[in-house]
Amino acid sequence: MNLQNATVLVTGGTSGIGRATARVLRDAGARVAITGRDESRLRAITNELGVLAVRADVTNEADVERTYTEVLREFGHLDALVNNAGAGAFKPLVEMTRAEFDSIIATNVTGAMLMARAAARHFAQRQKGNIVNIGSTAALRGAPNGTAYYASKFALRGMTECWRAELRQHNVRVCLVNPSEVITDFLAHAGQGQRSPAPDNPTKLRAEEIAQTIKSVLELDDRGFVTEVTVFATNPKD
């Protein structure tokens, strides 16, 4: 896809990978919309990048519908959805509460489905489009304390394969991007004690590396597509 004047919607676009992706795609010539729940952050990134900002919660079906109404009113059509909004909670199974588990599944699984469903309807009608789901290396193997988050990323990986099988006949490309640990404030929000903003570590991935991966996936000529890509830091050290 030629990113010049392409239209892209990035969920969870006010920080971390989402924000970096919005910046990289905008710099490549795309017209970008982002979603987020924090109005002050949305205003800040709108002022910084000049993107279309939509205040929305991906777990809220009405918010999802309104998001697409606003994006299509502004752009006329959509070329790509980057399903990036995500949340985490990391606790031993015996300490995990139902509310915490449900919250992670709602954002990382149900929210991704709601956003992709609306995009798929639009893409099938246009007979082209792109869905990039931001997974995790957590989608590839389990680990202690990962019940909610890892389960959500396994589910996202499974949904990605289902959507790919369904939508190829409509020329819709569906890709999963699996980052390993990225220097963002994600773990701080997940209660893991990482400072915000997260300290730099030259051996860990930055949000920009994942944004460049997403850009490369989208830029591949429409005759082919990347099904899944996993990005590890070369030699990470704490």
- Residues labelled as active-site residues: 149
Residue 113 neighbours by CB under 8 Å, 6+ apart: 159
Quote the CA–CA distance of 148 and 153 in Å, as a whole number. 9
User: b vs e for 128-165, b when ≥16 Cβ sit within 10 Å of the residue's Cβ?
Assistant: ebbbbbbbbbbbeeeeeebbbbbbbbbbbbebbeebbe
Contact 2, 70 (CB under 8 A): no
Quote the CA–CA distance of 111 and 162 in Å, as a whole number. 16
Q: What is the DSSP string of 100-120?
A: HHHHHHIIIIIIHHHHHHHHH
